Amino acid sequence: MEHVININGLTKDYKQVRALENVDLKIPRGRIVGLLGKNGAGKSTLLKCLLDFLKYDGNIDFFGRSTKDWKHELHTKVAFIPDVSGLDPRLTVQETIDYTAGMNPTWNYDKAERLFAKSELPCDQKVKTLSKGMKTKLYLLLTLAKDVDILLLDEPTLGLDIVFRKEFYDLLLGEFFDENKTVLISTHQVAEVENILQDVIFIDHGHVKLHKDLDELKNSWSVIEVPLDKEQDLMAFKPKTKTTSLGKVRGLVEGKIDLPGANYAVPSISDIFVAVVND
């Protein structure tokens, strides 16, 4: 499997605070990878280090070439959508489109025309007058029209309503992703991206806790539900999390187990995340 991003020994300090410590990661081509972590876990810092926006220790390669060597040319291959709607409010929508088109040699004019025609974005309006959802949509469309190989998203749907969130991920899957493209999505809203992810990385306090194929991960955990009187049987398997409701006890355990009289369910990514991060 070809890895498009290789991170070795990445460490980042903000004065007295260590934001990332000795992070090693390999991101394969053609995958949608979720970078999941709590607020302040180091997700945004990791993405900004990837783009060489921050000083750091360690090595980061894209397509086998260090980010230091890529310099600005990296942005012809990699696009980034930050956690805030970071477009310039002084420009109009059309001026922002013209700017991005003029700056990017990989700009796909046909695709851009098709995407923006469908988008119903008000081209003559200033960006500052758009809603947060519209700004994010504009940012995504600009990024999609750039025809890059890797897309880095940092909490892209934060603060958006459910309609915009759905539209965002539909566009991402429909217009960007294929077997040659790679998407790395950072979010703490784990449930929101569960359906689209193929791989997950759990990050906590600057450490990578886990990096796995999502299906494989789900198969390696089980949710077991037993009546209250069988709680001790469940506890024998040392569940990582336990909840009680309506006379039943639910526990998340690592591996597949067989417990007579129990109900089984596939764990959600949120359940596994909480279990791994709190371990």
Partner 1 sequence: MEQLKTMLLVEYRKRKSSYWWPVWIIAGLTALSLIALLIAWIVDSPNIVISGMDETSMSMRIGMYGTMFSFGIIFLAFMGLGAQTSLNREKQLGSDLFFRCQPVCFWKVTGVKYFMHVFASSLLLLGVGIIFAFIFTIVSAFFVNGFYIGNALYGTFLGWLNYLKLAMVFGSLCYLFSAVFKNNALLLGAAALGILEGLFAIIEAIFRHTIRLPDIFVSLGRMVGNMGLDEIDSVNMGMIMGDWRILIGFVFAAVCYVAASLIYKLRAKDV
Q: How far is the CB of 18 from partner 1 (least distance, A)?
A: 16
Q: How far is the CB of 109 from partner 1 (least distance, A)?
A: 13
Binding track, positions 133-162, relative to partner 1; x by CB under 8 A: ------x-----------------------
Residue nearer to partner 1 on the CB measure, 92 or 241: 92
Residue nearer to partner 1 on the CB measure, 54 or 196: 54
Binding track, positions 177-216, relative to partner 1; x by CB under 8 A: ----------------------------------------
Determine which residue in the list 1, 16, 17, 55 makes contact with partner 1, applying CB under 8 A: 55
The amino acid occupying position 131 is: S
Sign of CA dihedral 10, 144, 168, 29: negative
Residues 86-115, interacting with partner 1 (CB under 8 A): 86-91, 95, 98-105
Residue nearer to partner 1 on the CB measure, 14 or 264: 14
* Nearest-10 Cα torsion for 154, 159, 165, 171: -50
Q: How far is the CB of 44 from partner 1 (least distance, A)?
A: 10
Residue in this structure with the two tokens 């784990």, named with its chain if needed: 190
- 238 near partner 1 (CB under 8 A): no
CA distances from 273 to 1, 232, 244 (A): 26, 24, 19
Let me know: does 269 contact 188? Beta carbons within 8 Å.
no
- 69 near partner 1 (CB under 8 A): no
Residue nearer to partner 1 on the CB measure, 135 or 165: 135
Determine which residue in the list 37, 42, 82, 156 makes contact with partner 1, applying CB under 8 A: 82
Let me know: does 19 contact 45? Beta carbons within 8 Å.
yes
Residue nearer to partner 1 on the CB measure, 81 or 234: 81
Residue 35 C-alpha from the chain's centroid? 5
Residue nearer to partner 1 on the CB measure, 48 or 240: 48
The three-point CA angle 182-47-215 to 5° equals 45
CA distances from 211 to 97, 200, 225, 278 (A): 36, 6, 27, 16
- 79 near partner 1 (CB under 8 A): yes
Residue nearer to partner 1 on the CB measure, 152 or 272: 152
Cα separation, 175 vs 246, whole angstroms: 44
* Phi-psi group of 261: left, alpha or beta (phi > 0 → left; psi -120 to 50 → alpha; rest → beta): left
Q: How far is the CB of 75 from partner 1 (least distance, A)?
A: 4
Residue nearer to partner 1 on the CB measure, 72 or 238: 72
Q: How far is the CB of 104 from partner 1 (least distance, A)?
A: 6
Let me know: does 80 contact 47? Beta carbons within 8 Å.
yes
Residues ≥6 apart with Cβ < 8 Å to 276: 202, 209, 210, 240
Contacts to partner 1 by CB under 8 A: 48, 51, 53-55, 71-76, 79-80, 82, 84-91, 95, 98-105, 139
